[in-house]
Amino acid sequence: MRKLRLGRFALPLYSVIALVYLLVPIIYTIAFSFNDSKGRTNTIWQGFTFSKWLDVCSRPDICNAVGTSLLISAVSTLVATVLGTAMAIALVRYSFKARSLVSLSLFLPMATPEVVMGAGLAGLFFNLGTGYGYTTVILAHVMFCLSFVVVTVKARVQTLDPVLEEAGQDLYGSPTAVFWRITFPLLLPGIVSGALLSFALSFDDFIITYFNSGGAVTTFPMYIYIAASKGVPAEANVIASAVFILAILIVVGTQLATNLRQKRLLAIK
């Protein structure tokens, strides 16, 4: 009987401890974004203030780093999403030589440690003599984001019913019209999911960016790494908190929209 009681409370207790362990750093980051710190050090509470949120770009180096991260993430996500969607459709719908080899190779960037991939790409760019900068960072981000987009979109393609596309062709729709009016709208949830995942991975990446930037590009994660030795300013906590809150709002909004759509479909039935 005691064993049953212990087992009954063990899982909830473990869940609470794990949740607290995960939330403590986030709560700390958000709380110290309101810290009235006077210098670069933001480790001691000195009072509550909204000034850091209202004038987050008082330190232009932080905003420049965030802008660089957004630019690299947006371009990398766009390229990876377009290429990944095309590859996912080709792998599911078409038969060609070495298809199994291509599918297997797509998992290599996901399984390869970022240190190995970053160093390998840096060596490749060095041997090519291209130099380091925005181009090399974007190419490196596309490289490791592409696999995640392909896997996400591929799962969506596999669930599509080919009968819908065949019906469009029977109604004299051209291949282009069938794709944009039938296939693409059905694939859109998977494409958006892959793009959001790609953007999050690119924006958050440090190791691959560090190896392939050559010191010419400073993204937000790299700025945090450099500033950590001297003390991360409160403005950096503001940016991190804003990104976290925005991500939560997107997830909640998407879930509410999905639930509303399901209720409408049930009402029609």
For residue range 21-60, what is the model confidence (pLDDT) as tens digits?
A: 888 888 888 888 888 877 666 777 888 888 888 888 877 7
Task: Give the pLDDT confidence score for residue 3 in this predicted structure.
Answer: 54
Looking at the structure, give the CATH architecture of the domain made up of residues 60-232: Orthogonal Bundle (1.10)
Least confident of 23-32, 160-169, 200-209, 214-223: 160-169
- 114 and 207 Cβ atoms separated by less than 8 Å: yes
Query: Is the Cβ–Cβ distance between 52 and 63 less than 8 Å?
Result: no
Q: Which residues of 143-164 are buried (b: 16+ CB within 10 A; e: fewer)?
A: bbbbbbbbbbbbebbeebeeee
Task: State the pLDDT confidence band at 136, using cuts at 50, 70 and 90.
Answer: very high
Distances (CA, A) of 259 to 119, 123, 256, 266: 44, 48, 5, 11
pTM: 0.82
pLDDT digits (tens, 9 = 90+) for 73-100: 999 999 999 999 999 998 888 887 888 8
How many whole angstroms separate alpha carbon 249 and alpha carbon 86?
Answer: 30
User: Does residue 19 carry a pLDDT above 90?
Assistant: no
Burial class of 98 by CB neighbour count within 10 A (0 to 12, 13 to 18, 19+) = exposed
Q: Give the list of residues 6+ apart from residue 10 with CB closer than 8 angstroms, or none.
A: none
pLDDT tens digits, 216-263: 888 988 888 887 776 777 888 888 888 888 888 887 887 888 788 778
CA distance 120 to 152: 25
pLDDT band of residue 269 (cuts 50, 70, 90) is low
For the chain, domain boundaries: 1-32, 60-232, 234-269
Dist CA 116 CA 177 (whole Å): 43
